[in-house]
Structure 1
Amino acid sequence: MGETQSVYIMLSDTGTLFTNLIKTYTKAPYNHASISFDQELKDMYSFGRKNPKNPLHGGFVKEDILTGTYSRYKNTTCVIYKLEVTPREVEKMKRIMDVFIRKDDKFLYNILGVVGVSIKEPIEFSNSYFCSQFVSEVLKRSGIKLWDKLPAMVTPEDFRKSNQLELIYEGKLFDFDPVKKQIINH
């Protein structure tokens, strides 16, 4: 199979009230999904809190482990997967991401979509996503198909069950070596 590159999918649990509420329903260990273009998780994106202190103000975010929401939740647990993709697929993903970055104020957090997953009915709005829907949409638009379901129906748990992803780490986010090195050098 020619040259490949890696992208990383991180599923996480900050242990906040909001995430614990979701967990009581999903019974899944992780309820937030992000996609990163590097193993150090410096170039990582998702749909989540715009402001670490306000769970209700959500949208497209470039996540910063050292200064963003995660910095407030030092006991965050996570699982990190590696996905081998072609350079062309990475290029497509980055182009899609550029649109989100340039128009980030146009995108909203799809809280109703989360409800939709729970009632097994996709609830989609244009420019509105929840975290796992966003990651799934980016992969799908780049030609990567992990499941036979609409992005609006994909949960973080679906990533855990995908046999196309290679598990590279599970544990506390701040104990992940590439993150630990950043903290030391910060």
Structure 2
Amino acid sequence: MKFVYIIVSNTGSVANRAIKTFTYAPYNHASLSLDKGMKRMYSFGRKKPTNPFWGGFVQENLINGTFSWYPYSTCAVYRLTLPKRNYQKLERIIKAFAKNHKTYLYNYIGLLGVPVNKPLTIPASYFCSQFVAEVLHRSGVPLFSKASALVTPEDFRHHIQLIKIYEGPLYDYPYLHSKSIYHPKKYKSFPFRKYIKQQVKDNLFEIGTDHSNDEYKFRDGFIKPKKILLSKQLCKVKRFLLCNKHRY
């Protein structure tokens, strides 16, 4: 027997909060992981963290993907037992999605059909929970009697075949294959002064500070978009100074 893991999550993003106003559910995103550590985790979502309107098939990366922009994300993780044969078929289906990832789109239209209980399907197009339900159905493990285009993240939470193994902050999940550098519990708000100080040293003056002993470590994958844009601006200033150093 093999295990797969279904993760339902809430990032707290604007889009997530908007969906929550209609669903009233604690989690509004679903992902499928082929391993306990979430290293091979797949879904339909943002292609880029900065663009909520460009979606499709994604292998979700907790280190520098969309989740890393929302370190306070919460989740619930459920384990599903599969026969080895079905697990191998599921792997082949996921590989086919990954190989042709450019051909898949996010099924925004399908989201409109869920509240009225009418499945709206578009070829090569899925939303997150539809994708999870569909690949399980194709692998010979149909969890629901209704169409995949009507399955929501909330449906997974109440399925009797799914065993909950964790619920809480995403980055506190004890089985993560790699722990984040971002430590949201240590600070109630983003330590902006420390961030600026580090960026000025590293990017502007090339001091190359050793941060191994710092109590707070910064990394672009674990900071908000405005801070990343600021970092890029500092790099531009640095290039300008280098190009014009002989003029001063």
Structure 1-normalised TM-score?
A: 0.95
1:49 equivalent in structure 2 = 46
Give me the CA root mean square deviation: 1.1
Corresponding pairs, count: 181
2:96 corresponds, among 86, 95, 99, to: 99
1:69 corresponds, among 66, 69, 75, to: 66
Instruction: Tell me, yes or no, if structure 1 residue 157 matches structure 2 residue 143.
Output: no
List, as ranges, runs of 4+ consecutive aligned residues in structure 1 with deviation greater than 6 Å.
none
Q: Structure 2 unaligned runs (5+)? A: 182-248
Distance 1:67 1:178 in 2: 18
CA shift for structure 1 position 184:
6.4
Q: Structure 1 unaligned runs (5+)? A: none
Deviations 1:12-58 (A, max 9, x none): 00000000000000000000000001110000000000001111000
Distance 1:71 1:19 in 2: 15
Q: Secondary structure at the match of 2:178?
A: helix
- Percent identity (aligned): 48
Larger Rg: 2
Deviations 1:70-97 (A, max 9, x none): 1100000000000000111111111111
1:9 corresponds, among 6, 9, 14, to: 6
Q: Secondary structure at the match of 2:7?
A: strand
2:178 equivalent in structure 1 = 182
Distance 2:136 2:152 in 1: 14
Q: Secondary structure at the match of 1:124?
A: coil
Amino acid at match of 1:24: T
Q: RCO higher in 1 or 2 (8 Å CA, sep ≥ 6)? A: 1
Structure 2-normalised TM-score?
A: 0.72
Q: Would you tell me which structure has more strand in proportion to its own residues?
A: 1
Distance 1:89 1:36 in 2: 15
